[in-house]
A and B are shown apart, each in its own frame.
Chain A
Amino acid sequence: EIDKIVDLKTIEELEETLILADVGVETTLALLDPIKTKILQGETLTVKELKSFLKEQLISFLKDTNKPFPPPGNPSVLFFLGVNGVGKTTTIAKLGKILKNNGYSVLLVAADTFRAAAIDQLKTWGERIEAPVCALQEGADPGAVIYQGISYAQKNKIDVVLIDTAGRLHTKYNLIEELKKMVKVINKLVPQESQENILVLDATTGQNALSQAQHFSSAIPIHSVIITKMDGTAKGGIAIAVSHKYNLPIRFIGLGEKPEDLIPFDKNSFVSAILPD
């Protein structure tokens, strides 16, 4: 089966596989059209060869980073953003736990002062992972919470501050402006090298993830991505184009709703899940 010679039907099947994994039409056709031309010109290659070529290509689209994580700082600040319901708050708790297990002290900051019970949600997570939470009341200025949180961390020598923000669509002008303000507050308190702005993407999202990356990164610098909900049947293929186009490394993937369900991103297994042998 794997040593079969590639024909147009194989190409069509691979097209289906890639598109169904949300890799996207553009990336898929860019990969497969040249192959199609070669096949039509009479070149032969085996399915195995083609698949390993495609995997290599997909892997090469995924950006690497050698920046340390968390970034060095006193404290280092991880700022989470993304559209509604992708898993920001939960991911913060999971990552807080990982960092704690690695010997860092952490502070969770409830800068989602908008959504009903968002503060309670983060506080509950704080109790579960035994991490302090900095919060003001619902409706408070997110910048004020961030200011308090980082100042508290500085005074109390906390290593990493994880900031939760309200979910917002990337197309909402005033909500994007609010993001910029929050980043300004962070900039006042800690140097750039100590900050990582993390875009959280939901693996079930389709081509819209590209628009999310584009809009958010044109407003504030985005440094990395976390993909959540990889425990479902979605393959999260759009992350490949996002990583490629916006030069964004993927740090972690979320695999469930429990505190331990976050693991470092691994290119090979990610791409192998998209293109199984």
Chain B
Amino acid sequence: MKLKLLPGVILPALLVAPAAWACGGFFCSATPVLQARERVVFEVLGDQTTAYVQIFYSGNDRDFAWIVPVPSTPEVTVGVGDRMFDALESQTRPVVVSPTNNAAIAALDAPAGCGDFSGGGRASGPIVDTGPPKLNLRSVPRPEVTIWQAEQVGPYEHVTISAERASDLNTWLALNGYRVQPGADPIVQSYLDQGMKLLALKLRPEATASAIEPVRLRYQSEQGCVLPLRLTSIAAVPNMEVVVWVFGAGPAAPVNVPTVEVELAGLETTAQYESALPGAIDAGGDGFIVEFAQPNHRLSGQGDPELTDLLDRNAYVTRLRSFLDPEEMTVDPDFQVDHRLPEVSNVIVSGVRSAGLSWVSATLWLLFFVLPSLRRKQQ
């Protein structure tokens, strides 16, 4: 009897095993530099927001430059490491359990490879200009900018800068070795008009490509968790995956873009769920899917001190995900904690994602309902 129950006992252990990430191929020599994926962890404590950002891009690593609007001069630090993101990913990613489908159970144990999370996005080919060849020169006035902060942190050098005119700011950045994408002026200007500053970050000249690591930004903000996707649109791959975790006193959801629902009925494998996501997001108005919203005690720090501290300081974590084309990045999603929001489990059993369904309840469900039912059928 005990032996017959063993598969049900082992299953949760397999499900929560850390996923093996092998996505190291972001540094190809192709140009242009494009953001291939974005993973951000937000924590809001009072008027202080902390954003942990893991940067993925494709392109020439020496051209790497990351520019993000910030409401105030941020404290920029490194040393977060990829492990925190991987631990969150492995514990909150959606898993479809179909007890009658052995292939689905086997898939639960499969590591999350790049294919699962690339979103199918590929940089589009260069647009070849076939017009008459032309050399263009223009006299550029000396840019008038305010430098709020210029520092070196780990492998990066960064500057926090503001200006009246985006053209001044972008010229200053270009003159100082930050690669600014053509067409950024109107979007940068809209941030400047809101009184925001820009944080620009690039690799130090002596740093190697392997030194790319997540950054932690801490800043004063009354806005909370706003993801500056409009600026991302300047240089993003099509169908770019965006994953956001929000730590707070309760579940979180976007307040200015739709919360997208996925039709779960009929889904039997995690792969089917992943395939259904992009279409659901397009149909749902390019919003975000809440894939996990649970009390933090259901997660473990998995040995990462930063994640352990986040779990200790906050009551809930919410995972939200979207796939967006650059032209769909027209709004900066604002994620806010709301105690009235339901809990959401990442475990989908037979097409049902019920609030509060955890690994423990999923296991109990398998043990007491599914396996006995299968045994009865076999008899």
Are A and B physically bound partners?
no
